[in-house]
Chains A and B, each alone.
Chain A
Amino acid sequence: MKHSVNRPPTPDGAEDQGNEPTLQEIINIKLIESGEKERLMELLRERLIECGWKDEMKALCRSYVKKKGRNNVTVDDLVHLITPKGRASVPDFVKAELLQRIRSFLMSAAL
């Protein structure tokens, strides 16, 4: 590109802030673009239903709503309630399977 005038390059949005996209970011975008993220999400949903995790979370939410009253609970309350327990109770074999899938995706995507 010929610069006829001495001027600084056109600002490039976020990149110019000095923030290089992290590895996590790059992986995430690659996953989304290839459609793999969608497939992984479906797989995760299936596994979590099979092992009863979803039913457990549902039961937690139900008992909370029963306690507080149906009209006094918001989605944010429920998310706040089940996020720590939910993250902690994902079975190891589910985590292992998904990590394995992501690993093989990364190898095939040659990152």
Chain B
Amino acid sequence: MSSKINGHVSPQPCPHLLVFRSRNGPKPFRALKDCIRVKPPGGRAAIRREPTEVARCGTCEESSRSRLYACVACAAVFCHAPLLHSHASDHSLSIPGHEIAVDVDRAELFCCACGDQVYDRDFDAAVVLAQTVNATATTSTSGSTAMQCSVAGSQPENLRKRRRVDYRPWEPDSGEHISRGNQSIPLLDAANASLVSSTQQPWGLRGLNNLGNTCFMNSILQALLHTPPLRNYFLGDRHNRYYCQQKNGAINGTKNSRLCLACDMDALFSAVFSGDRTPYSPAKFLYSWWQHAANLASYEQQDAHEFFISMLEGIHEKVEKDKRKSQSPGSGDCCIAHRVFSGILRSDVMCMVCGFTSTTYDPCVDISLDLEPNQGGSGKSSSAKSLNSFNVEADCMRPNQNCGISTLKGCLERFTRAEKLGSDQKLFCQKCQVRQESLKQMSIRKLPLVSCFHVKRFEHSSIRKMSRKVDRYLQFPFSLDMAPYLSSSILRSRFGNRIFPFDGDEQDASNDLSTEFELFAVVTHSGRLDAGHYVTYLRLSNQWYKCDDAWITQVNESIVRAAQGYMMFYVQKVLYYKESENQGTS
């Protein structure tokens, strides 16, 4: 009954709309397009024949009805209030072919016979175009082109469709044959069958010894060891450390060329998934990372998030030397780190004076979220001043606010909310050619395979020369749907009820992946800023395990829910459930 575009359902036209279209040629709404009036900046679209026209019903002369419709066939305006009387319906019944009308205040198409909204792609595109470009933009078109690009069709370099490759079943090549023979151990063996009985802990659970305040590293490593696409990559021998070191040794004979964090990761995976349960000391890894991030090389406690970013950079850097691969992190083709974690964020900045919007895309490997500044409320300060005693009422009337509990979804909502940049943060508007107050909105253009959310709990103030930790509890879900935070959803809600051809990409490969994610690792921090401890909780086969350096214990999920989340790792649902179907035989 309805077709899907970009995962959004696009309604099929009603019979009256079909008849109307067939009777009125390829562009049945072209006359309407000239009547679209937009109150700047970037405001609502309305339909008026003259800019200052006061619309009134042709039958009852009323102009104060809440819904006035203009018949698309004869341009006559009628009111539509089904509870009282509908002169629009009367009109549609009296003259066949006059069923389609347009809401004059909302610029939305309506079928008076069906009593329901209908949608036309061309009309909606015209309305959106009118809303994104200032109505009086006869001067320059350079501004509109930029927006048109992101709305209508041509994509920036880093977003072009990836070429699809046919499926071929895997056969080991000669190199793989050799490495299979020498360095591999069977995961499942008749002799070792007792190792994988259901009472045992799952594969890959192995404690990591603390080498001196290295819990920041251990916690992140535990999360990465169980990141499904990363784990599959390394266990699938996609980065063979022997082969890599041989290759590197051949190019530059010096020792430094051997530095490859991916090789060290490979060694780590081999050790952790070997079946040996005694705690492992990732000393080699630590040493390699110190060489990469010399400024962080010390036995002091470091920030786990900083380590995470530094590690991904380290893996990427190694690959940069390989000229064959594409370098842009956005496409994820450059290295396994970006293939797994890299998404694309979209930032829209709208000038509040002229409505001109500039859009930029930036790759990101994680999303850092602010915790709410005040407990229990984000009421606008202007309303606080004028409403006095009604303020409390206002705050608690919001059904979404549990009066004080911060949630991950709340943080994401705030992250993607349109934010008025203050007068001290004016941004340069290309159209006005001066700095103007702006409205900024973030959204997610492309979801990564694994979404890492980092909660900004450590505040460093260079002004006050102090740092502090925010201990407030953050509630996080085990399953998360990222659909409301996608650029397509955010833009859709900005422009209202329209068929919105987002970037014109109906067959984008990224649309095949769903927006549903499952939580699989939580890195928590307890204690003070200068004296704290990181612990990771892993979710394997729907059981939770606490990884506290060398100690791994099974815990109840309520412990995890109550923990103070610092970094949360979510993987695409399609990549998660498969791996937890059958523990031990997967």
Residue ranges of A at the interface with B (Cβ–Cβ < 8 Å) = 14, 19, 24-25, 28-29, 32-33, 38, 47, 50-53, 55-56, 59, 71, 74-77, 79-80, 83, 91, 93, 97
- Which chain B residue has the least Cβ–Cβ distance from A32? B54
With A52-B399, A91-B393 as known contacts, state yes or no: A79 contacts B82, CB within 8 Å.
Answer: yes
A55-B398, A71-B1 known; 13 new pairs, CB 8 Å cut-off, are A33-B52, A38-B39, A50-B380, A50-B398, A51-B393, A51-B398, A52-B397, A75-B110, A76-B82, A76-B115, A76-B116, A91-B390, A91-B397
Q: Is B404 an interface residue (CB 8 A)?
A: no
Q: Is B562 an interface residue (CB 8 A)?
A: no
- Cβ of B387 and Cβ of A93 under 8 Å apart? yes
- Interchain nearest-CB distance for A83 vs B (Å): 7
Contacts of B553 in A (CB 8 A): none
Contacts of B64 in A (CB 8 A): 24-25, 28
- Cβ of B82 and Cβ of A93 under 8 Å apart? no
- Rounded to whole angstroms, the CA-CA distance of A17 and B556 in the bound complex is 79
- Rounded to whole angstroms, the CA-CA distance of A32 and B380 in the bound complex is 27
With A56-B399, A76-B82, A93-B387 as known contacts, state yes or no: A51 contacts B63, CB within 8 Å.
Answer: no
- Rounded to whole angstroms, the CA-CA distance of A29 and B400 in the bound complex is 38
- Pick from B52, B114, B116, B394: contact of A93, CB under 8 Å: B394
With A75-B110, A80-B83 as known contacts, state yes or no: A25 contacts B52, CB within 8 Å.
Answer: no
Q: Do most interface residues of chain A lie in helix, strand or loop, or is the interface mixed?
A: helix
| 8 cross-chain pairs, A with B, having the tightest CB-CB distances, nearest first | A74-B116, A76-B115, A93-B390, A52-B398, A28-B64, A74-B115, A52-B397, A51-B397
- Which chain B residue has the least Cβ–Cβ distance from A59? B399
Q: Is B383 an interface residue (CB 8 A)?
A: yes
- Interchain nearest-CB distance for A38 vs B (Å): 6
In the assembled complex, 19 residue pairs joining A and B whose CB atoms fall closer than 8 Å, in A order, are A24-B64, A29-B54, A29-B63, A47-B383, A50-B379, A51-B394, A52-B398, A52-B399, A59-B399, A74-B116, A75-B110, A76-B82, A77-B115, A79-B67, A79-B82, A83-B83, A93-B390, A97-B386, A97-B387
Q: Is B209 an interface residue (CB 8 A)?
A: no
- Cβ of A33 and Cβ of B394 under 8 Å apart? no
- Rounded to whole angstroms, the CA-CA distance of A32 and B52 in the bound complex is 9
A53, A55, A56, A75: residue with the most chain B Cβ atoms closer than 10 Å: A75
- Cβ of B63 and Cβ of A25 under 8 Å apart? yes
- Cβ of A80 and Cβ of B383 under 8 Å apart? no
Q: Is B61 an interface residue (CB 8 A)?
A: yes
- Cβ of B52 and Cβ of A55 under 8 Å apart? no
Q: Is B117 an interface residue (CB 8 A)?
A: yes
- Rounded to whole angstroms, the CA-CA distance of A71 and B256 in the bound complex is 65
- Which chain A residue has the least Cβ–Cβ distance from B379? A50
- Which chain A residue has the least Cβ–Cβ distance from B497? A75
- Pick from B52, B117, B380: contact of A75, CB under 8 Å: B117
- Rounded to whole angstroms, the CA-CA distance of A14 and B60 in the bound complex is 9
Contacts of A80 in B (CB 8 A): 82-83
Contacts of A83 in B (CB 8 A): 83
- Rounded to whole angstroms, the CA-CA distance of A65 and B99 in the bound complex is 24
Q: Which of B85-113 contact A (CB under 8 A)?
A: 110
- Which chain B residue has the least Cβ–Cβ distance from A31? B64
- Rounded to whole angstroms, the CA-CA distance of A90 and B63 in the bound complex is 23
Contacts of A32 in B (CB 8 A): 54, 63
- Interchain nearest-CB distance for B30 vs A (Å): 25
Contacts of A29 in B (CB 8 A): 54, 63
- Cβ of B114 and Cβ of A74 under 8 Å apart? yes
Q: Which of B47-63 contact A (CB under 8 A)?
A: 52, 54, 61, 63
With A75-B116, A79-B82, A91-B393 as known contacts, state yes or no: A50 contacts B383, CB within 8 Å.
Answer: yes
Contacts of A77 in B (CB 8 A): 115
- Which chain B residue has the least Cβ–Cβ distance from A93? B390
- Interchain nearest-CB distance for A62 vs B (Å): 12
- Which chain A residue has the least Cβ–Cβ distance from B67? A79
- Interchain nearest-CB distance for B61 vs A (Å): 5
- Interchain nearest-CB distance for A34 vs B (Å): 11
Contact with A along B1-39 (1 / 0, CB 8 A): 110000000000000000000000000000000000001
Contacts of A71 in B (CB 8 A): 1-2
Contacts of A19 in B (CB 8 A): 61
- Rounded to whole angstroms, the CA-CA distance of A61 and B155 in the bound complex is 37
- Interchain nearest-CB distance for B47 vs A (Å): 14
Q: Which of B386-423 contact A (CB under 8 A)?
A: 386-387, 390, 393-394, 397-400
Contacts of A38 in B (CB 8 A): 39
- Interchain nearest-CB distance for A43 vs B (Å): 10
- Which chain B residue has the least Cβ–Cβ distance from A100? B386
Contacts of B54 in A (CB 8 A): 29, 32-33
Contacts of A55 in B (CB 8 A): 398-400
- Rounded to whole angstroms, the CA-CA distance of A53 and B52 in the bound complex is 31
- Rounded to whole angstroms, the CA-CA distance of A71 and B11 in the bound complex is 9
- Rounded to whole angstroms, the CA-CA distance of A19 and B400 in the bound complex is 49
Contacts of A97 in B (CB 8 A): 386-387
